[in-house]
Structure 1
Amino acid sequence: MTETSLVSGMIGTLVGTLELDPSLPVSRITINPSIAPNNNSRNVRMYYTNASNSLVNEALYGTLYLTYYKTNGALASKTLTTETSYTFNRLDASRPIRFYILVNTNTYTSFLENVWGWIFRPADGRFVAMGAQPAFTLLSPSNTTYPVLSNQGETTLPTPFVGGGLPGPGGDRTIFIGDIGVTPSWWAYYNVADAPVYSISFATENVYIDDITQAVLAPVPLTNVTLNVENYQNTYLGQSRVNVRFFQAGYPSFRFLHENDPTAQLPYTLWVNQTEIPYNTPFSPWPAPMQASNSKQISLKVNQQDLEAAMEGQYTTTITVEIISGI
């Protein structure tokens, strides 16, 4: 929360930068939903822990604020409060659009003062995160919705300004507060939660399936995928959910490749419990609340018709799991 010069009386933070394809005639942004004072769930929420380590949150009225460049080089800006869309005026699509979330400086200061009792003792509580619900879509002059590539993958669905997924400190629609940025003399009294440091490991990295026909009736176990939070004791995860992406580099879906003829392929699907893992799409195998080590068994299944059509021989495949979001 260090941006203080964008709008008088407001303090906030940058939550996203949008790089546009200059060849696309983007005409406006649709905000859904906007941050509005008549809907408490859409306000900016401040998350912190109290002296008993319980999660507490408080809603502050906020606004969305965007900046962009016009074709004449001038910097333009717009405060988005109750609007559901904003039409650009001579947008220079070769330069980025920046989004900010702002809250009233006096309200923010009062919020800090209200929790001063536990903040004065750093061991008693910690700031965790700031969250907001709004998302956006890009529209052309003919109302065509353009896909947006973010840490949630490429989609034409509304893209959250802060990551995506669940709201709150457990979701990736939040950001860590970090530097309080109101009064330097207060900094020494704040104990801000550290950002989690994640890593992924596999129980077995090289798996051999002796009889693939067993994967027709039900998914066969491959390995356990474990998400480790390396600094778990120094973070507050609450109802955390961390998204990962399962994919096979260079291919639009999962498939085995024949070792002698890569054009001969056998499609397959991946499963966790009774849920199919979506290909190259944000997915969370681990339910909240998160622990220091979170493990789930990954299984594989093939279709009978695909198996019958497959060429005889040995097949291989490489699966990549990538952390794409989370706090």
Structure 2
Amino acid sequence: MSTDLIDVHAHWLPTELFGLPPNSPFGAMRDRDGELFLGDVPLSIRTEAMSDVDAIIADMNVSGIGVRALSAPPFAFAVDADVPAGDYTDAYNDALARVVTDSSGRLAGLASIRLDDADAADHQIRAIASQGTLVGVAVPPVLRGGSLDVGVLRSVVRSASEHRLAVLVHPMQLPRPEWSKYYLANLVGNPVETATAVASSILGGVLEELPNLRICFVHGGGCAPDLLGRWTHAWEARPDVRAGSTSSPRELFRAAYFDTVTHDHAALDLLRTHAGENRILCGTDYPFDMAESDVASFVDTAGLDRLSLAAAGRDFLGLDVHSEVPA
């Protein structure tokens, strides 16, 4: 078995879809002299790094990555409930499927899903599963005041599980007034969004209802590993906290996957203690500024076994154990 890494957390968006879904809260993405801007905000990303497959493959070769799963950047999620985004998400999925097909097994694809209507999303998921090219879907952790335990997101997760598709949960860096400076919408907001989704999937009974669900919370689960003891104490002490699940949060935490993008070996050690080594996946967050640029060195110095990482990556993405080509 190859010791090349399997990166489950990387982003790609073709230039023709830089306009983003209708009513995107962030405004369109633009190329200015080879640099990406989101509205008027610089992203500190070269345009080719986000949109050019050759650049992505070149980065994989340098980084020791054998397979990379691509998903849309989070600001391309179709979160507006008032404007159907089927045309946009279908266009993204068609483009992604072509990229995956042409990659000779180097790339896997996580589809974009419309989030305005549960039935429409289920129809998309059925079509994706029947086509067999893309291995899963990517979704935000929070949506219109709810998380994975309610509404469209719970329906999407249930449908993905039914059709044996992986689910990658990626935060959107939603703005709040108290996070307007120092990049706090990312540095604090992203971990909080992700922890909200982990808690909701545990306490809301999602992981209990769907034992075959393959779901990954990126950025090491955000601040969820640090809060697991608090959740467990509350679940044991308060009837309202345990009303949605019959299993302890510590037990259900081990039903999910988490990536390695923690930027800290101590944080990764805590995650491994709570989740178990077979639930840790290699991630980079390519090509963002918060990406782990030398992921091979990071996982090696953290003491992670590359064979275990690869096996977990194959399990999550549904890749055949004898190859690096999607099953």
| TM-score range normalised by the length of the shorter chain | under 0.3
Task: Looking at secondary structure, tell me which structure has more helix per residue.
Answer: 2
The structure in which a higher percent of residues are strand is: 1
| TM-score between both structures, scaled by the size of structure 2 | 0.25
Give TM-score scaled by structure 1 length: 0.25
Where relative contact order (Cα < 8 A, 6+ residues apart) is larger, the structure is: 2
